[in-house]
Amino acid sequence: MEGIQILSIVTFFPLIGVIALFFIDRENEVLQKTVTLIVTTVTFILSLYLLIYFDPSNPGFQFVERYKWIESIGANYILGIDGISLFLYLLTTFICPICILSAWNYIDKYVKEFLICMLVLEVGMLGTFCALDLLLFYVFWELMLIPMYFIIGVWGGPRRVYAAIKFVLYTLFGSVLMLVGIIFYYLFVASKTGEYTFDLLKWYQVLPPFSMQVWLFAAFALSFAIKVPMFPFHTWLPDAHVEAPTPGSVILAGILLKMGTYGFIRFAIGLFPHAAYFMTPLMVTLAIIGIIYGAMVSIVQPDVKKLVAFSSVSHLGAVMLGIFAMNIQGLEGAMYIMLGHGLSTGALFIIVGMLYERKHSRLIADFGGVAKAMPIMAAFFSVTVLSSVGLPGLNGFVGEFLVFLGAFKVKPLWTILSATCVILAAVYLLWMYKRVMFGPIREENKYLPDMDLREVLLMTPIVILYVVMGICPNYFLGKMHTSINAFLQGYEKRIAMNVYEEKVQPLALIRGGK
């Protein structure tokens, strides 16, 4: 396998689509969409190479590529994935063609620009999940802000400008502080080892003193918490989700939010274990508040899309709970919910989009009984809702079960509190489903067209994955297990190191290390 720079190829493959789009006539929208669909699909197929050749027994990073980038400051181009990032990476390549397909009729103006934004967005997201150099990671992390800003702002709903600016300002606010943290830590590493580097693996080997960890953790965690979004940093999310066009919402819910939780695992906890340990009560409290608050708010939403958006706050709270349980079940469960949520919430947004395309409304009250008019959609919708609720046999159950198992081991009370989210999720999702799909049908809804072939095609792979993930979770967990185990062992080993007594002034350290 050596010699094939598969990660670079997959990550930057969408750019071929961008180049191709420049040469296609503006009028020929079908060709533009087809080309983009082909490019994203090929990206997905290429990424399957990673799945096939991924060695589940190897806990370290695989498919590593390493090139010099900005030598003078020690920033390198390093890519690599392990069991933690593998499926997030694949989820991205999987969701992107589906997004393009879901946008087929929805996007009717500036099609070319939209497709270019989507492709650039894909590059940014893929890069974020496989960059192992902190500066490179930051570049990808910020890169995806730009196309997302346009996707929400140009193709979004009526309050799109407000939502787009809010989205960018919130995330930018978090990430610039992370940048300070990155440079600060970089100088610290240099002062300790004498080597100026942004290499994540080398950073893992340097443990800052506790007082410094807390601040750095705060800088990183704020950025990730905004992205996740954790309560109380979640207010951008409903606006962004509701105003974004369907593909934008799918990407936001499916992948962007996971960048936050991924960042927590890989960077905030991985680099600052003591601070993470110290902050656990706070993080868990916020996670539980998020779980319950998100669910409660979802119940009363009159707008389907808003309901789904708030349900993300709740689900991501469960992910955070699993992460900060800090045991194998919790983390594996968190990873599993991340994947499952990416699929089922993505699918929910796609279905909401389909409903909107037909009725130009997202209010629950405007529907009712439409299952009679759209039986196929009703079927897909029901599976998706059940998967999101966590029905055993579908993907949602496995993750939630593992998270609660993991959390129960540490703090039973937390778990009992947060397990309410399962009940609440059933309340808001099933109740919403009932009100939308069943009951007496209105006259004007009787002739709503059912899902066409394209829509069936784009939903089918997702539904198949629900079942696969629900029935054979071992396939997925097996690939993650070694890496997560190694991560936890590393965490425990580092936690055992004493960094409390060291009396260090971080700034003095840096000055000394010049």
Partner 1 sequence: MANFDMLSISPDLVLIAFALLFLLMGAFSRTPKVHKYDMLSIIAFSLAILLNLFIFGSKRFGFYDMMLYDDLAGIFRFIFYGIGILVSLMSDPYIEGKVRHKGEYYALIVLSVVGMSFIATSYDLIMLVLGVEAMSLSVYILAGMFKHDEASAEASIKYFLLGAFSTAIMLLGIAFIYGTVGTTNYNLIIENYNKYLHSGLQVGIFMLGVSAVLAGVLFKIAAVPFHMWTPDVYEGAPTSVTAFMISGVKAASFFMLLRVFLVALKVTVFNLVGIMVFISIITMTLGNIAALTQKSIKRMLAYSSIAHAGYMLIGFVALNKTGLAAIVFYLIAYALMNIGAFAVLVLLEEKGKNLENVSGCGFLYPFLGLMMTIFMFSMVGLPPTGGFMGKFYIFKGALEAGYLWLVIIAVLNSAISAYFYLRVLVYMFFEKPLDTGGVLQASSPAVTTALVITSLGVLVLGIFPQYFFELTTKYMTYLP
Contact residues for partner 1, defined by CB under 8 A: 69-73, 110, 113, 135, 138-139, 142-143, 145-146, 149-150, 153-154, 160-161, 164-165, 168-169, 172-173, 176-177, 179-180, 183-184, 186-187, 507-508, 510-511, 514
Helix (H, G, I), strand (E, B) or coil at 510: helix
Q: Cβ closer to partner 1: 226 or 276?
A: 226
Q: How far is the CB of 163 from partner 1 (least distance, A)?
A: 11
Instruction: Output 174 or 399, the one with its CB closest to partner 1.
Output: 174
CA 454/CA 101 separation, integer angstroms = 8
268, amino acid identity: A
- Residue 294 Cβ, how far from partner 1 at the closest point, in Å? 26
Q: Name the strand (E) or helix (H) holding 62.
A: strand 62-70
Separation of alpha carbons 221 and 200, rounded Å: 17
**Closest CB to partner 1 among residues 61, 186:** 186
**Distance separating alpha carbons of residues 359 and 329, to the nearest angstrom:** 43
For residue 236, give every residue at least 6 positions away whose Cβ sits within 8 Å of its Cβ, in sequence order, or none. Answer: 163, 166, 167, 170, 171, 226, 229
**Which is closer to partner 1, CB of 87 or CB of 184?**
184
Minimum distance of partner 1 from residue 322's CB (angstroms): 31
Least Å distance, CB 505 to partner 1, is: 10
Q: CA angle, 363 as apex, 452 and 447 as ends, to 5°?
A: 40
Residue with smaller CB distance to partner 1, 11 or 395: 11
SS3 137: helix
In the complex, least distance from residue 206 CB atom to partner 1, rounded to whole angstroms? 17
Nearest residue (CB) to partner 1, 138 versus 203: 138
Q: Per this entry, what is the length of the chain?
A: 514
Is the bond into 506 cis (omega within 30 degrees of 0)? no
User: How far out from the chain centre does Cα 394 lie?
Assistant: 20
CA atoms of 1 and 437, how far apart (whole Å): 50
- The smaller minimum CB distance to partner 1, of residues 106 and 215, is found at 215
Considering beta carbons, is residue 69 or 408 the nearer one to partner 1? 69
Closer Cβ to partner 1, 267 or 476, answer by number: 267
Q: How far is the CB of 160 from partner 1 (least distance, A)?
A: 7
What CA–CA distance (Å, rounded) separates 98 from 413? 40
CB of 164: closest distance to partner 1 in angstroms? 7
CB of 422 to partner 1, least distance (A): 38
Nearest CA-CA partner of 238 in 319, 154, 297: 297
Longest dimension (CA), the chain: 78
CB of 155 to partner 1, least distance (A): 10
User: How far is it, in rounded angstroms, from Cα 334 to Cα 337?
Assistant: 5
Spatial separation of the C-alpha atoms in residues 181 and 127, rounded to whole Å = 20
Q: What is the DSSP letter of 67?
A: E
